[in-house]
Structure 1
Amino acid sequence: MEIIELVKAIILGMVEGLTEFAPVSSTGHMVIVDDLWLKSKEVLGSDDVANTFKVVIQLGSILAVVVVFRNRFIDLLGLGKKTPEASNGEGRLKLTQVIVGLIPAGILGLLFDDYIDENLFTIETVLIGLLIGSVLMIFADLFAPKKPRVTTVDQITYRQALTVGLVQCLSLWPGFSRSGATMSGGVLTGMSHRAAADFTFIMAVPIMAGASGVSLLSNWQYFTMDVLPFFIVGFISAFLFALITIKFFLRIIDRIKLIPFAIYRIVLVAVLYLIYF
């Protein structure tokens, strides 16, 4: 595989890592960078192999979340040192709360996965998702409680977890953005932006890892020696850029909130509309 092709893998991994967990829609950015410019399917030989590559780099981004929140996941699984609060079952985010947040989108995803893949991955639907998701994010910032009742992820209630899970169902529409939907739902229920972001990232790992794992198992035949270097380089690139992005995003989100990301998404809609229509 030529160096220029590996550079394309690095760029695609970078785009995935920078956009997967920021509320800007990685799908919209992949449409621009891959479908319009790099065209990974031409490098890899088919749409099936190109789609498998996108699953691989998504796993790189997921691994970055696991690294950033490793202590939290150890605690959720009951593998860490017990604190007095954890021993009493109070003052800590519980695994059952995460599960409650995952159930709504998990059920709808299983029921409508084939329909979504076959009918909703078009430029028109992505533009709709980007635009409506932006409106939701602006609404969340404007109408969220002025003083958040929940400032850390450990204060989240089961009711808030379920509400965030229900709002997450909107992200099944391509372009809507999982993090944009769940963070909007979180701040509207009284969470701080940082608490909503933490819960968003923690919830993303099992649902994304599960979906990606199933996809990889069904497409294992596409892991050939010809494309393996492309896959590996893209995976590493996505992991590194996601690691940087997540740490930076968590540091600034309480200050800048969601509206700047919503404005950026609206600009992205305008760019995509001009390119395609």
Structure 2
Amino acid sequence: MLPDWLIGLIMGMVEGLTEFLPVSSTGHLILTADLINFGGPRSTVFEVVIQLGSILAVVVVFWKRLWSVVGIKTSGYKKTKLNLIHIIIGAIPAGLAGVVFHDFIKNVLFSSRNVVIGLVAGGILLIVAERFAKEPKSTNLDQISYTQAFLIGCFQVLALWPGFSRSGSTIAGGLLLGLNRKTAAEFTFILAVPMMIGASGVDLIKSWNVLSSSDLTLFITGFITAFIVALLAIVFFLKLLEKVKLTPFAIYRFIIAIVFTLVYLV
């Protein structure tokens, strides 16, 4: 068994790299945990902690935009058209579905077979989105309409299926609804803040009795690593999307699905 600090470092890096790329952090975390023999109740709590590290990275990258969304003035503040209503109506579909089906998702959908299905289906959605993407009418966050925000939120419901990928489903939805790649990704990241905090908060409360002071090294290392790596991954991915389509990510998902199948289903 690897030492806690090394487990935290490895899992934090995987979480930070994959949480906001359209490749499914869930599938990668399951594979990695299996490879390093990391499991049990504390692994579930640990995944929640490193997800919070990743979401903190979004807050840091988009802090001025997030403050403007809620109407808080900052240095260089400029009133923007993207507001809290966009975020609320975008979060409603997945938020409601997550509350209603929480136990079903955790107890039934988190199986190897379902993760493979999610990886493949999500990859197909990326290819479809690139093939049938509308001519971009929304090329920045302030051009997103309430209707687009709600419909992108509906695409986010797909991410409740493990392996589908939150960023993959919402970026694909954004392309199909007339956003360019960069704008779709930016809205996806901002929309992820309330969703991930809410979902992680619920899981953390339910698993509070599993926490132990002896796990501090694991949790702190994982949280900090996930935060730093996610910070770099977000900046890199936004620049990459200006040059690269989603199809390569779809192909990568199919490769991971094959690996997943060989490891767990054969």
Choose from 88, 101, 125 the match for 1:136.
Answer: 125
- Secondary structure at the aligned position of 1:8 is classed as helix
Distance, in Å, in 2 between the alignment partners of 1:79 and 1:5 is 40
Residue number in structure 2 paired with 1:241: 229
Distance, in Å, in 2 between the alignment partners of 1:28 and 1:84 is 39
Residue number in structure 2 paired with 1:254: 242
Structure 1: 5+ residue stretches without partners: 42-46
- Secondary structure at the aligned position of 2:3 is classed as helix
Residue number in structure 2 paired with 1:71: 64
Distance, in Å, in 1 between the alignment partners of 2:144 and 2:76 is 18
Choose from 55, 58, 75 the match for 2:51.
Answer: 58
Q: Check conservation: 1:130, 1:269, Cα contact below 8 A.
A: yes
Residue number in structure 2 paired with 1:40: 38
Q: Check conservation: 1:60, 1:238, Cα contact below 8 A.
A: yes
- Secondary structure at the aligned position of 2:179 is classed as coil
Residue number in structure 1 paired with 2:150: 162
- 1:4 CA drift (Å): 3.3
Distance, in Å, in 1 between the alignment partners of 2:221 and 2:75 is 39
Closer, same or farther in 2 for the Cα pair 1:169/1:241, shift >3 Å?
A: same
- Secondary structure at the aligned position of 1:12 is classed as helix
Deviation per CA, 1:157-194, whole angstroms, max 9, x where unpaired?
A: 01111110111111111100010000000010110000
Residue number in structure 2 paired with 1:116: 105
- TM-score for the superposition, normalised by structure 2: 0.95
- TM-score for the superposition, normalised by structure 1: 0.92
Report sequence identity in percent: 48
- 1:274 CA drift (Å): 1.8
Give the aligned residue type for 1:131.
Answer: V
Q: Check conservation: 2:8, 2:218, Cα contact below 8 A.
A: yes
Residue number in structure 2 paired with 1:19: 18
Distance, in Å, in 2 between the alignment partners of 1:245 and 1:159 is 29
Q: Check conservation: 2:136, 2:180, Cα contact below 8 A.
A: yes
Q: Check conservation: 2:2, 2:36, Cα contact below 8 A.
A: no
- Give the paired residue count: 265
Choose from 185, 200, 219 the match for 1:197.
Answer: 185
Distance, in Å, in 1 between the alignment partners of 2:186 and 2:17 is 17
Closer, same or farther in 2 for the Cα pair 1:220/1:156, shift >3 Å?
A: same
Give the aligned residue type for 1:167.
Answer: F
- 1:150 CA drift (Å): 0.7
Distance, in Å, in 2 between the alignment partners of 1:84 and 1:228 is 38
Q: Check conservation: 2:138, 2:178, Cα contact below 8 A.
A: yes
Give the aligned residue type for 1:136.
Answer: L
Distance, in Å, in 2 between the alignment partners of 1:179 and 1:214 is 21
- Is residue 2:89 matched to residue 1:100? yes
Bigger radius of gyration: 1
Give the aligned residue type for 1:55.
Answer: V
Choose from 210, 216, 239 the match for 2:204.
Answer: 216
- 1:9 CA drift (Å): 1.1
